[in-house]
A and B are shown apart, each in its own frame.
Chain A
Amino acid sequence: MTMDLSLLHNLMGGDQKLVDRFVNIFKTQVPAQVAALPQLCEAQDWKGLSTALHSLKTQFNYVGMIAFAEQMRSLEEQVDDGKTSDIALKISTFTQEFQQSWQP
Chain B
Amino acid sequence: MEQPHLLFIDDEVQYSELTKEYLEMKGCKVVLKHDGQAGLDAFKAQPFDLCVLDVKMPKKDGFTLAEEIKQIDENIPVIFLTGQSLKEDKIRGLMLGADDYLTKPFSMEELYLRIRAILKRVKVHEKTRVTDLYEWGQSRFDPELRQLVVSGETIKLTSIEAKLLKLFCEHQNKVLTRDAAMIGIWGDEEHYRGYSLNVYVSKLRKFLKADPAVEILNLHGEGYKLIFKPVTA
Contacts and interface: CB of A to CB of B under 8 A. Distances in A.
Interface of A: 7, 10-13, 15, 18, 21-22, 25-26, 29, 47-48, 50-51, 54-55, 57-59, 61-62
Interface of B: 11-15, 17-18, 21-22, 56-58, 83, 104-109
20 contacts: A11-B107, A11-B108, A12-B107, A13-B109, A15-B22, A18-B22, A22-B15, A22-B18, A25-B14, A26-B14, A29-B13, A29-B14, A47-B58, A50-B56, A55-B11, A55-B12, A58-B15, A58-B83, A59-B12, A59-B14
Contacts of B108: 11-13, 18
Contacts of A50: 56
Question: Which 3 A-B pairs have CB atoms at the shortest separation, nearest pair first?
Answer: A25-B14, A11-B107, A13-B109
Contacts of B104: 58, 61
A26 B14 CA distance: 7
A41 B16 CA distance: 26
Q: What DSSP secondary structure best describes chain A's contact surface?
A: helix
B18 A59 contact: no
Contacts of B13: 25, 29
Contacts of A11: 105-108
A58 B109 contact: no
Contacts of B106: 11
A22 B104 CA distance: 16
